[in-house]
Amino acid sequence: MRSLLVALLLLFASSAYAEDATLSATNTFTAEVRGDNQNGTEGDDDYTAVINRLTLKGVTGALSAGLRVDAFGFSPSPTPDFEDDVILERFELRFRQKPWTLVGGDFYQQLGRGIALSMRKEDQATIDTTLQGGLVELKTREHHAAVFGGRANPANLDEISQHFIEDTNDVMAGGLYDFTQLEAFDTGVYGVFITPTEKLLGERTKQHTEGIYVDLNGLTKHAALYLEVDLQHRELLGQSCSFFEEDCSGKAAYAALDLSFGDFSVLAEGITLEAFEQRGSRNTALNRSFEYNQPPTLERIDQEVSPMRDVQGARLKAEVTFLEQDLLFTVDGVYKEIEPDSPARVVLMHGFGGGEYSFQEGRSRLSASSGYRQEATDKATVKTMVHGEADYLQWLWSKLSLHLSARHESRTLEDDPFVRGSALLGVEWTGLGSLTFEFGYDTQNPSADVANEFYAGIATLELMDNLSARLVGGTQRGGLRCIAGVCRDYPAFSGVSGTLVARY
Amino acid sequence: MFEKLVVSLVLAASLWSAPASAEEPSDAGARKAAQAFDADQLDGELFEFESTEGKVVVMSFWASWCAPCLQELPHLDRMATDYAEQGLIVLAVNTDGPETLSGVRSIVNRKKWTMPVLLDSEGAIANLYNPRGTNPFIVFVDRNGQIVSSHEGYAPGDEAEHEALIKRLLAE
């Protein structure tokens, strides 16, 4: 509460007394009435939810301040996991005097390609954990250095399950130094130290990770290369072990090579993670540890990705364009071994390809892709998937366009076949909004009390430049969805949901 | 508890009386100061916001997996070229996380964009201008470094409205 008062005082004092001060706000208000989603589980049906998120920013010269207040309530609360609260979720004071930046409060921090640390906001995957503490940063054309420290501060409302997440207060501190030479050669070193608050027997009590990277982003006109190596040491409660013992150490390496020759380009990536993890205390909404890193997955953003702890893999992607970049063809292949040295080793292969055509001066487009994915142990095939996707946007005239999108997956899970997919048909009117009909299906669970078909209507409205609304009514399929390497089990939706977004 | 929620909602509701429309940029007095920042560009160069002083700036937040973004950006790149001499700078602020960042370069090369592509993987720029973290999201800044308007999403035809607004700002 003290931090709230300090932040508010500075924010509004600056607005009141400084001539050049401005205050801006973004507010997102959501109201939902949820019925029985027929997913075969109790505890997520028949309730009303009201969620509001208010972000305020004040700027005066070199000083800025920001805060975010989250308010949420549920009636009736389906389980004790749903809590009503009003929380000062974020606050930030920022002072910038080139080449220095000082931040006190909440900030996001990433090291390298996210293998060592990735504290960031990823709305698509509903990830939002900041570091609440202090940051001192120096940035010039050649040198970039920073030191930071604080506690992990996850957003307390899990937006998928709508369950409450307790703060972990895991402590972190670290730093980085990056040197750029001739704008083509960039190299950096960094380190981070983490102490989870939760102490469990056999689990780590503190861990430190160091890394180095080299980014050759302009050596030639046609090639770019990125290399990164990370080492980690963990101390376990009730055990002592040296740096080289397997239980206490982790290793990681990542490389990406981009080649581009006119209309043809190739991307090659490889990664190896050996007992590498950056786990914190338990996430009370998910009943598993927070993960403070997000390594490259080598996968398409929507794929079901296995935990990135013990993985070896590679990916090759090629693209070629025609008709002055209006026509694109892509092929992509991924090979990964999960827990490669374990009897439970899983081999993953995924190959897919497709094309995209833009026409009517880029106002219309047609894209389609398909592929095959398989995960198998030494003894059996665990999962297979044949998938196809299509997206067609046709500009009709003036401000009106038609949008058709469909995807289908024929899957097997331990030899049990099922299909899953969705189709959306919508009309969009620029400056006014859109109206979309969604049909979804999922036959994985054939139980009579579980829905297999889903129908929903979605309307978006641009009421004013600074006020927009989104309404959803009907049913939408849930299940495991993965975005950016983060997989979550979404509850199916049944009911009505309305969101208003205001900016001022 | 419920009273707290009501107070919060009333505070939020007060924001919805805000003026301005897409067609009419807000009055100069109502514009908000744009916050300065430094960011790494895709080509390794450092971008300093101060270098845009006296120019109209358009910031477009995008990601490699965002289809509407990839449809909108070619229009913005074309405007960046067409209106460069009149003082327009378009910044393509990439928000890809580490898991998809490797795909950004090939898109930029393939599309042959000439506008600066800023890397905002950890969301520092988004935190200043795009707190909801949505893609695509576009911000217009006038020659005095004041935010004129912002817009979430892209539908065919939006580019014409964006261009009209850019012309007005360049003429101010």
pLDDT in tens, B109-165: 888 899 999 999 888 899 889 988 888 999 999 999 999 999 988 988 899 999 999
First to last CA, chain B: 49
- The answer to whether residue B5 scores a pLDDT higher than 80 is no
Kindly state whether B150 is in contact with chain A, defined as any CB-CB distance less than 8 angstroms: yes
The pLDDT-based confidence of A308 (bands split at 50, 70, 90) is: confident
Question: What pLDDT score does A368 carry?
Answer: 97
Q: Chain A residues with CB inside 8 Å of B8's CB?
A: 52, 54, 69, 71, 86
Return mean pLDDT, chain A: 88
The pLDDT-based confidence of B17 (bands split at 50, 70, 90) is: very low
Q: What torsion do the CA atoms of B100, B101, B107, B113 make, to the nearest 10 degrees?
A: 150
Question: What pLDDT score does B45 carry?
Answer: 86
Kindly state whether B50 is in contact with chain A, defined as any CB-CB distance less than 8 angstroms: yes
What would the pLDDT profile of A321-346 be if each residue is shown by its tens digit? 998 889 999 999 999 999 998 898 99
Please tell me the CATH code under which domain A297-504 is placed.
2.40.160
Do the chains contact at A431 and B22, CB–CB below 8 Å?
Answer: yes
Question: What pLDDT score does A9 carry?
Answer: 58
Q: Closest by alpha carbon to B111, among B66, B71, B83, B152?
A: B71
Do the chains contact at A73 and B31, CB–CB below 8 Å?
Answer: no
Do the chains contact at B102 and A296, CB–CB below 8 Å?
Answer: yes
Q: Chain A residues with CB inside 8 Å of B99's CB?
A: 114, 294-297, 299, 301, 484-485
ipTM value: 0.87
Q: Chain B residues with CB inside 8 Å of A224's CB?
A: 105
Q: Tell me if A385 sits within 8 A of A482, measured CB to CB.
A: no
Q: Tell me if A454 sits within 8 A of A440, measured CB to CB.
A: yes
**Nearest-Cα residue of chain A relative to residue B65:** A301
The mean pLDDT value for B94-119 works out to: 89
Nearest to A54 among B12, B149, B158 (CB): B12
Q: Which residue has the tokens 């939810």?
A: A49
The mean pLDDT value for A37-45 works out to: 83
Q: Closest by alpha carbon to A348, among A369, A328, A334, A368?
A: A334
DSSP string, A135-180: EEEEE-SSEEEEEEEEEEEE-SB-TTT--B------EEEEEEEEEE
The one-character DSSP state at B130 is -
Strand duo B117-119 + B88-94: pairing: parallel
| A180 CA: distance to closest CA in chain B (Å) | 8
Q: How many CB pairs under 8 A join A and B?
A: 232
The pLDDT-based confidence of B44 (bands split at 50, 70, 90) is: confident
The whole-angstrom separation of Cα A70 and Cα B26 is 28
Question: What pLDDT score does B20 carry?
Answer: 40
Strand duo A63-75 + A85-97: pairing: antiparallel
Q: Which two tokens stand for residue A280?
A: 């914190």
| A405 CA: distance to closest CA in chain B (Å) | 12
Do the chains contact at A319 and B110, CB–CB below 8 Å?
Answer: yes
Question: What pLDDT score does B81 carry?
Answer: 96
Helices (H) and strands (E) in chain A, counts: 1, 31
Q: Which of A74, A121, A403, A486 to mutate to test the interface with B (most CBs of B within 10 A)?
A: A121
- The answer to whether residue A403 scores a pLDDT higher than 90 is yes
Q: What are the extents of the domains in chain A?
A: 1-93, 98-253+267-287, 297-504
Buried b (16+ CB within 10 A) or exposed e, A24-43: bbbbbbbebebeebbbeeee
Q: Which domains does chain B have, with CATH numbers?
A: 28-171 (3.40.30.10)
Q: How many other C-beta atoms lie within 10 A of the C-beta of residue A417?
A: 11
**Nearest-Cα residue of chain A relative to residue B4:** A86
Q: Which two tokens stand for residue A209?
A: 């990770």
Nearest to B156 among A96, A363, A367 (CB): A363
Nearest to B21 among A114, A184, A465 (CB): A465
Q: Name the range with the highest mean pLDDT among A52-61, A192-201, A296-305.
A: A52-61
Percentage of residues in chain B with pLDDT exceeding 70?
A: 83
The whole-angstrom separation of Cα A246 and Cα A226 is 27
Q: Tell me if A168 sits within 8 A of A197, measured CB to CB.
A: yes
Residues 53-112 of B with CB under 8 A from A: 65, 67, 71, 74-75, 97-103, 105-106, 109-112
**Nearest-Cα residue of chain B relative to residue A485:** B99
The pLDDT-based confidence of A160 (bands split at 50, 70, 90) is: confident
Q: Which residue has the tokens 């470094």?
A: B145
Name which residue leads in pLDDT, A114 or A491. A114
Question: What pLDDT score does A6 carry?
Answer: 58
| B79 CA: distance to closest CA in chain A (Å) | 14
CA atoms within 13 A on the CB side of A385: 22
The whole-angstrom separation of Cα A330 and Cα B153 is 26
- The answer to whether residue A300 scores a pLDDT higher than 90 is no
Name which residue leads in pLDDT, A74 or A126. A74
Question: What pLDDT score does B23 carry?
Answer: 39
Q: Chain B residues with CB inside 8 Å of A260's CB?
A: 105-106, 109-110
Nearest to B127 among A108, A269, A468 (CB): A108
